Amino acid sequence: MKTEIKIIKALLEGKEGHTIREIAKLTGADYRIVHEAVSRLLKKGLVDKRQVGKAVEITFSNKFSKEVFEAETEKAEGLLKDKNIKVLYEKLGALSFQLTALIFGSYAKGKAGKGSDIDLMVICGEEEEKQVESLVHTLPLNIHLTTLTTTDFVKMAKSKEFNVVNEAIKNSIILIGIENYYRLVGNAK
């Protein structure tokens, strides 16, 4: 189970496909153990495989499960070690309505420097957008906020053109609303 979580986390990074050998290197696990774990993930439908030349590429299927929840939670916990992100998380979590909050950009890629802004995407109802905006503006943090309704998020996710949603889907860390996020991404397919 632990190896399966590591594999899902590796595939979530950048949403790129990898061979089993590459996954073994990324996770620091033995090739045989990774191969067996990938087989279990294939049976559960959590990863897909495709032939690329002589190699088999493994990709994340964007299906929600307890393993995906655990992998996403571990990613978020790593980011919450940053005190600014933790404050943002606590403030957003205190809001009395349902929302999904993603961190993307340099923070999600692990390349944030001192002057980096926090790229935050919040998906919520149209009426709640103003509350989110006013909350974020009260924080003494350099936050680049994008608020979207669920309809706008799904519409932009379906688009083949490069946009902020497709960038966030490719590499983000879900702060709040993991299950809802995967439901929205599933609706975009």
Residue 13 in this model has a pLDDT that exceeds 90: no
* 117-118-120 Cα angle (round to 5): 140
Give Rg (Cα) of the chain: 17
Of 6 and 115, the one with more pLDDT: 6
How far is the C-alpha of 75 from the C-alpha of 68, rounded, in Å?
A: 11
Question: What is the CB-side half-sphere exposure of residue 26 using CA atoms within 13 A?
Answer: 21
pLDDT of residue 176: 97
Per-residue pLDDT tens digits for 118-140: 999 999 999 999 999 999 999 99
Residue 15 in this model has a pLDDT that exceeds 80: no
How far is the C-alpha of 97 from the C-alpha of 14, rounded, in Å?
A: 30
Prediction pTM value: 0.88
Per-residue pLDDT tens digits for 69-107: 999 999 999 999 999 999 999 999 999 999 999 999 999
- Positive or negative, the CA dihedral 16, 167, 118, 152 is negative
